[in-house]
Structure 1
């Protein structure tokens, strides 16, 4: 097991952070595709497509060909969910990490480092929901390189966020994670988070049976009001 340390983000971490984040998100695309294929909606649609083309063209080959084209198109669309999310993050808060997290109130950004190499990351900031901003902070951009998982790094990063929020008098930490990130869900639940909602982030996501889960962890021992 590699020895790691958690520290605050530095400007020299910029490219490594963006790379770790992008790889971590894109690697979940195959799981998202498998989830789509297992859904009753997708299976029914493919069956209807096959039967329809078979009846119209009178050819099993054309029917199977139509299904194959649909499968390829579905994969492209599932992949686009991940790539669009990555592009959005890299062009917004991860475009200038210091401004987004180190100079903003009630925000911070940490990296996990092994022998001088950044292998993990996590951020915290006020939630987008105005109703939550008075009582909670949001855990964001959690990612650990594949080769360094299972060593407690994700748990340690999560702990930094919980301690940060508690020290500033907030009563809860919220986060969002996708339905295919099963290991992340187990991690968060093990740290006291509970699932409080689920939604599809776009029409395309809804069509592809893709959901984002919302989690919340209530922090005990809040003694002060959060800073304004």
Structure 2
């Protein structure tokens, strides 16, 4: 028997949901930083910086110091990138969760509850891409508490979204996830989602080799979506 249950969001879940979302996003910042440091672009840039600083100052210690300063600066920027994303979400759709997802058409928000505590969440809504509207819904804000991963909660939450979209006659579910969220990619691909695109959300993201992966799940046997 499952040690958790999936239910629709309630107003008393507000603080727990916002906190869960923020923790889930911020925990990926170190992975993004490590991935950046492993990239050929970053390593070449740091090497050029070291050589240039050493040549200019005539001291290899100053060259190392310049590299150290650059490493700190990039970490601060990557952390700030994640923090800004969290703040944007908390000040938009997650500021009024009921209004954004429970009172809006073709939208919903679920939480996973275990021992009286919210340990997971997911939402579904109209896609941001106008070209997808009317035919697909978008899975958003998927997050599961670190202590409750590996118990099938993410799969169950994803299933709620797929059933919701199918019941309303939509042909597909789309979503976006970052390149550092490897477990999320494995979950979605295991559920049958196909990667359909890759983008960088900003110039800084492109500089640090950060990409967003776009996925699509075509619902089998779905009729054309009704007018909305």
TM-score normalised by structure 1 residue count = 0.98
Which residue of 1 is the match for residue 125 of structure 2?
125
Which residue of 1 is the match for residue 29 of structure 2?
29
Which residue of 1 is the match for residue 40 of structure 2?
40
Which residue of 1 is the match for residue 80 of structure 2?
80
Where 1:3 maps in the other structure, the secondary structure is: coil
Preserved contact between residue 168 and residue 227 of structure 1 (Cα < 8 Å): no
1:225 Cα deviation (Å)? 2.6
Task: Pick closer, same or farther for the CA change 1:112–1:81 going to 2, 3 Å.
Answer: same
* Correspondence list, 1:81-120, <5 A: 81-120=81-120
1:224 Cα deviation (Å)? 4.8
How far, CA to CA, are the matches of 2:40 and 2:108 in structure 1?
42
Preserved contact between residue 22 and residue 86 of structure 2 (Cα < 8 Å): yes
Task: Pick closer, same or farther for the CA change 1:193–1:184 going to 2, 3 Å.
Answer: same
Which residue of 1 is the match for residue 226 of structure 2?
226
Which residue of 2 is the match for residue 146 of structure 1?
146
TM-score normalised by structure 2 residue count = 0.98
Instruction: Report Cα offsets for 1:8-37 as digits up to 9, x if no partner.
Output: 000000000000000000000000000100
Q: How many residue pairs align between the two structures? A: 228
Structure 1 segments of 4+ aligned residues over 3 angstroms from their partners? none
Where 1:93 maps in the other structure, the secondary structure is: coil
Instruction: Report Cα offsets for 1:149-175 as digits up to 9, x if no partner.
Output: 000000000000000000000000000
Determine if the alignment matches structure 1 residue 52 to structure 2 residue 52.
Answer: yes
Structure 1, gaps ≥5 residues long = none
Structure 2, gaps ≥5 residues long = none
How far, CA to CA, are the matches of 1:58 and 1:225 in structure 2?
68
Preserved contact between residue 120 and residue 143 of structure 2 (Cα < 8 Å): yes
Preserved contact between residue 101 and residue 109 of structure 2 (Cα < 8 Å): yes
* Correspondence list, 1:177-188, <5 A: 177-188=177-188
Which residue of 2 is the match for residue 62 of structure 1?
62
How far, CA to CA, are the matches of 1:136 and 1:2 in structure 2?
30
Which residue of 2 is the match for residue 155 of structure 1?
155
1:227 Cα deviation (Å)? 3.9
1:133 Cα deviation (Å)? 0.5
